[in-house]
Structure 1
């Protein structure tokens, strides 16, 4: 069972662990206002399951960012470590 739990991560946790948001409450607010898409599908669920290979479109204050999830971090770490879990595809 433990292996099954490691192949996905809550969207709000990923946004914090990958350093797109400072806190889970900020991540939850971002998702609930419709500023996040997973694989081109809009979502308002902070608990949405995120898997490696998913593509996120994020409408952030600095502009739109499109990233591919490469891995699932276990915790929030330093910025260089966090950046290893996603690949920038584009910006808006």
Structure 2
């Protein structure tokens, strides 16, 4: 599946064009490899990392989808592997990104 499409389906970006821009910005890594095109293929088990605000988001792809569903469904597409934040807690992709 195309990486930009998966990012949008998983609700990690607000729009498909935002996902395309992220992929082409060279700030996103797929299994440690710098990505420079939105058409890169993502598979189950792949690990993605990219900056968001003042933290680095790291997720493992747990599944693929054929549509952009509700947040609860989209959240099942990845596992959050992000490091703990400076405040001592974990950096879950929940409340802040639920409205995305």
Task: Please tell me the TM-score bracket, short chain as reference.
Answer: 0.7 to 0.9
Within the alignment, does 1:57 sit opposite 2:71 as a pair?
no
Report SS of the residue matched to 2:7: helix
**Aligned positions, number:** 84
Report SS of the residue matched to 1:67: strand
In structure 2, the residue matched to 1:86 is 78
In structure 2, the residue matched to 1:5 is none
Q: CA deviation at 1:62?
A: 5.5
Equivalent position to 2:14, from 18, 22, 26: 22
Gaps of 5+ in 1: 1-8
Q: TM (normalized to structure 2)? A: 0.78
Report SS of the residue matched to 2:12: coil
Aligned partners of 1:86 and 1:55: how far apart in 2? 9
**Which stretches of structure 1, 4 residues or more, deviate above 3 A after TM superposition?**
none
Q: TM (normalized to structure 1)? A: 0.85
Tell me how large the CA RMSD over aligned residues is: 1.3
Of Structure 1 and Structure 2, the greater strand share is in: 1
